[in-house]
Every structure is written in C-alpha cells, then in structure tokens.
Homo-oligomer: A and B are copies of this chain.
Amino acid sequence: MATRKKSTRTKAAPRKTTRKSAGQASKSAAQKRASDVARRSQALDKVTVKLIQETATDVQRTIHKHKKPDLSFPIRSLSNVSYSQERGYFEIGKQKKSRTLTVNTVKNFAQTLRMMGLSKNLVETNDFATKRDAYYQSKNWEEAKFDEQPESDTVMDDIEAMFSIQGVSREQLRFVPDESYNGSVAGQLIVLDPDRETGEVERIDCTRFGSGAYSIPSSVEQLSFETDARFILAIETGGIFQRLQSHKFWRTAGCILVSMGGVPARACRRFIRKLSDDCKLPVYAFVDCDPYGISNIYRTLKVGSGNAAHLSQFFCVPQARFLGVTPNDIREYDLPTHPLQDVDVKRAKDALKNDPFFKSQKPWQKAINDLLKMGVRAEQQALAKWGLNYVIEEYLPRKLGNTSKFLP
C-alpha cells in the first residue's frame, strides 16, 4: 500500500496511464511547469516594481520642477462600468479622477505613496498584506497614518484600479483578501506550490485527502497545475460538496470539485479561472435554483461584480456555464420547492431589468421568467427526495451527458 501510494504521489494521471512512466514524465513536466511559473512571476514582480517606481519618480520629478504632481485613478463607480459581451466580464471604463497635490490633499497623497511603497516592499520581501494588515501598518506612518480602515481600503482600491489598467492584478501588488474561507477542492488535480523561501515545489494531490479537502490559499498566483480531469464542477453548498467528495464522484466523472460556500470569495474565483485557463477545462456551476443562486452566486463567478469591475479581468470565469439546478429541472425531476419570497422576486426582476449580463442572454431571460411564473425555488439538496445519492447516480450523469444544453 505504501509503495503504491508513493508512486501515485508523483503522477497526475492515475486513470489513464501506466504508473511508472506517467510518474516520471509528469514529475519532470511538473518541475518545468513550476519553474515556468516561477520565471513568469519573477518577471511580473519586476514589472510591478518598475511601475511603482515610475509612478513615484514622476511625482518626484514634477515636484523638483516646482510643479504640482498628480495621480489619476479610474473611477470605481457603476457609472463607469460596462459589460463586455466579447470578453465576458464587467469592465471598468475610461473615466478617471485626478488627485493633485495641494494643501488639502497632501495627507491623502502621502498615504497613497506610502501604500505604493508598502506594495513595493512586499514584492521585494516576497510577503503579502491584507486590507486590515495595511491599515494597521499605517499606524507607524506618523502623519500619514489612517484614522479608520475604510480610508485605507479606499486608497488600496484606488491603487489596485490604477495598476489594473496596465494589467497588474492586486495579487501582483501583494494585496490579498482578508476572507477566512476561499473554497475547498477535491478531485483529479495536483496543485504545484513553490515554497516562498526555498522555492521548493510542493505537489499537492487533491485525490488524497480522504473525506477532507484542499483549502485554497488567499493568493493563488504562484500555483500551477497538473490534471487529466475533463471539467471543473463549482458547487454552492458544503452539503453537496461533502456528498460528492465522500463518494469520490470526481473519480467516476473525471473531474475537479470546488466548494464555493455561497458567493465565491475572490481567491476561489481566481483559482477556478486560473485552473480553467491553464488546463483548458470547462467550468460547470451547480447551485440552488433561486434568484440568489443565479444572479448572485453564478453571475459573480462568471462575470464578476459591478463594484469591483477593475478586478473582474483577473477574477471572473467567463467560460463558466450553468449545469443546474434549472427552473426546468424543478419540473423534470419533480423537485420539492419553496415559494419565492418578495426578496427573491425583487432580485429576479432586477436581474432582468438592470443586469447587463442577463440582459444580453436570451436563454437566461426565459429561464428567469419561467421561475417567476412558477413562483417557486428549489435547493440543490431537494434531489435527495429521490434518494440521498440520486444526485450522484442519476442527476449529474444525465446532465453531464448533455453539456450543450447548459445555460450560458
């Protein structure tokens, strides 16, 4: 047993290939991939530091010329956000606000520069800071310290937005989210994660966690992947994820399970996006059939959110498709339902009327209107009416046999 386990540790493809050769091949491929990632991320670090330095140098040069320096940031409000159907996500527009150094703005100006300095320092020491970390760090910035965290959050958001225009993500600035839960993963995937000090690559085999799972870290930029899975299944509830994981659904279906735990956190969305991009895997969302599941969870996963549009290019998963539970499933599987509440109806109507994503998608308009007409909602676990493992034995296999029917 131990020997078998050791050999499976070193390969990505337990199902399809013979053990030894797969192990050797994938190990060297893994090392190559990991060193590619390391090289790419070093190059990105250089770009990031260079951009920060250039921005700061511009300010300094202007001051030396006895002129008033300014910094300009994309406006982060819904009026400056549009949905790009071609790219598949919310994009920030061209409107900018300019902040000129004056007597009134001097503190905020200094804080912005200190915050950029913190980012540069984090890149150079290979460390990271959350919004809260940054706020408390500032308590040692003397006159430039922030009085309240919302102030420092705004400055950080502005800097993120400013650099996002040049394709630099918040993770490259080493700003990471404060969330406690970034999602769990199980299935046919090996995650490669280089140690932040030694660079030695950890190979994390997501088939080997028993009934537990891999918990996604707050930053995933340094990760690379090996997999022979055929798709990623992004799941709303812990209950369904645990059932699929405990029964090793990923083995029979050849997939990777991700538990989002409701609306997916940023790191969770970035993980799914990166995994899907890097390994060319389709992403199927499996959530409750209600306006929250559709227009909050799925929409956020797929196109991002309007009020953080400067991050969508990195965080959304435009390739995601909707497996279920669909309004049609409620009828077809005769599922137990709950009546739609006022808040559900409001949310659905709002999606139809105001959401640029749903407004651009006919099949979704039909589905949401269907749901409103039926006046009910159904949870994923409603499938348990037909047996606790009906979801594994019947529902998912049937659905996955016809992926072209998935909602966009």
Chain A residues with a Cβ under 8 A of chain B: 1-2, 5-6, 9-10, 27, 127-130, 132-133, 136-137, 139-140, 176, 178-182, 184, 191, 193-196, 200, 202-204, 208-219, 222-223, 237-239, 241-243, 245-247, 259, 261-262, 336, 379, 381-389
Task: Please name all residues of chain B whose beta carbon is closer than 8 Å to the beta carbon of A210 when the two chains form the complex.
Answer: 191, 193-195, 202, 204, 217, 223
Contact check, A136 vs B217: say whether CB atoms are below 8 A apart: no
**Assembled-state Cα–Cα distance A182/B259 (Å):** 12
Contact check, A196 vs B217: say whether CB atoms are below 8 A apart: no
List the B residue with the shortest CB-CB distance to A237: B180
Nearest 9 CB-CB pairings of A with B: A193-B210, A180-B261, A180-B238, A136-B384, A211-B217, A215-B215, A202-B210, A213-B215, A184-B215
**Assembled-state Cα–Cα distance A222/B246 (Å):** 12
Task: Please name all residues of chain B whose beta carbon is closer than 8 Å to the beta carbon of A246 when the two chains form the complex.
Answer: 128, 196, 217
List the B residue with the shortest CB-CB distance to A271: B212
List the B residue with the shortest CB-CB distance to A235: B180
Contact check, B132 vs A381: say whether CB atoms are below 8 A apart: yes
Supply 8 further A-B pairs (C-beta < 8 A) apart from A133-B388, A209-B214.
Answer: A2-B10, A5-B9, A133-B384, A180-B237, A180-B241, A210-B223, A215-B215, A217-B245
Contact check, A136 vs B381: say whether CB atoms are below 8 A apart: yes
Contact check, A212 vs B211: say whether CB atoms are below 8 A apart: no
Contact check, A193 vs B212: say whether CB atoms are below 8 A apart: yes
Contact check, A239 vs B204: say whether CB atoms are below 8 A apart: no
Task: Please name all residues of chain B whose beta carbon is closer than 8 Å to the beta carbon of A195 when the two chains form the complex.
Answer: 210
Given A5-B203, A211-B219, A213-B215: A178 and B239 interface contact (C-beta under 8 Å): yes
Q: Which of A2, A9, A241 has the most CB of B within 10 A?
A: A2
List the B residue with the shortest CB-CB distance to A213: B215
List the B residue with the shortest CB-CB distance to A384: B136
**Assembled-state Cα–Cα distance A106/B384 (Å):** 25
List the B residue with the shortest CB-CB distance to A192: B210
Task: Please name all residues of chain B whose beta carbon is closer than 8 Å to the beta carbon of A242 when the two chains form the complex.
Answer: 128, 130, 176, 217-218
Task: Please name all residues of chain B whose beta carbon is closer than 8 Å to the beta carbon of A261 when the two chains form the complex.
Answer: 180-181
Contact check, B180 vs A259: say whether CB atoms are below 8 A apart: yes
* Cβ distance A196 to chain B, nearest Cβ, rounded Å: 6
Given A6-B6, A209-B202, A213-B217: A132 and B239 interface contact (C-beta under 8 Å): yes
Contact check, B385 vs A137: say whether CB atoms are below 8 A apart: yes
Contact check, B212 vs A130: say whether CB atoms are below 8 A apart: no
Given A129-B388, A204-B208, A389-B127: A136 and B382 interface contact (C-beta under 8 Å): yes
**Assembled-state Cα–Cα distance A132/B239 (Å):** 8
* Cβ distance A47 to chain B, nearest Cβ, rounded Å: 22
**Assembled-state Cα–Cα distance A243/B234 (Å):** 27
Contact check, A180 vs B181: say whether CB atoms are below 8 A apart: yes
* Cβ distance A292 to chain B, nearest Cβ, rounded Å: 14
* Cβ distance A103 to chain B, nearest Cβ, rounded Å: 27
* Cβ distance A336 to chain B, nearest Cβ, rounded Å: 5
* Cβ distance A222 to chain B, nearest Cβ, rounded Å: 7
Task: Please name all residues of chain B whose beta carbon is closer than 8 Å to the beta carbon of A217 when the two chains form the complex.
Answer: 210-213, 242, 245-246
**Assembled-state Cα–Cα distance A262/B196 (Å):** 27
List the B residue with the shortest CB-CB distance to A238: B180
**Assembled-state Cα–Cα distance A210/B196 (Å):** 9
Q: Which of A202, A216, A217 has the most CB of B within 10 A?
A: A217
**Assembled-state Cα–Cα distance A128/B388 (Å):** 9
Can you list 10 residue pairs at the A/B interface with Cβ under 8 Å? A1-B200, A132-B381, A136-B381, A136-B384, A139-B385, A194-B210, A196-B211, A204-B209, A213-B215, A217-B245
Task: Please name all residues of chain B whose beta carbon is closer than 8 Å to the beta carbon of A245 when the two chains form the complex.
Answer: 217
